Amino acid sequence: MPVAGGGFEQCYNAQAAVAEGSLLVVAIDVVQASNDKQQLEPMLGKIGALPGELGEAETLLADTGYFSAGNVAACEAAAIEPLIAMGRQPHHPPLAERFADPPPAPKKPNAGRGHGASAENARRQEALFSA
């Protein structure tokens, strides 16, 4: 996998599916691929193969590394609501920015450019939901 400062190290990428209520790890996978986007669908398969006694997955929470239109569609096909971050926020904002009043909420939910969403996130939303 690529590492900070350049270069390459032999590493592994571990995935875990965790039940929200009990924090029980219900599925795991370890791969050598560095990109998380290709790891969501195999985990959905493992979640779908779990015994019925464990219940049904209703919602999937994932960071921005898993975001793609294909992964959102895969979650919806599995009848699981995807809550996948569409972008990153910068670390360590200046104090004035950190303690500033929040911007007003958009007039309609998921309005794209409202409530601090970047233009890139707006384009992702438009591309994802216009299909």
Residue 125 lies in a domain: yes
Looking at residues 85-89, what average pLDDT do you find? 85
Residue 11 lies in a domain: no
pLDDT one-digit tens code per residue, 11-33: 889 999 999 889 999 999 999 88
What's residue 24's pLDDT? 92
Residue 5 lies in a domain: no
pLDDT bin (cut points 50, 70, 90) of residue 116 is very low
What's residue 123's pLDDT? 67
3-state SS class at 14: strand
Domain membership of residue 116 as a residue range = 94-131
Residue 58 lies in a domain: no
CB atoms within 10 A of CB 117: 17
- Max CA-CA distance within the chain? 51
Residue 33 lies in a domain: no
Looking at residues 45-66, what average pLDDT do you find? 93
Residue 118 lies in a domain: yes
How many domains, in total, are found in the chain?
1
Distances (CA, A) of 117 to 13, 15, 21, 109, 111: 29, 28, 30, 12, 9
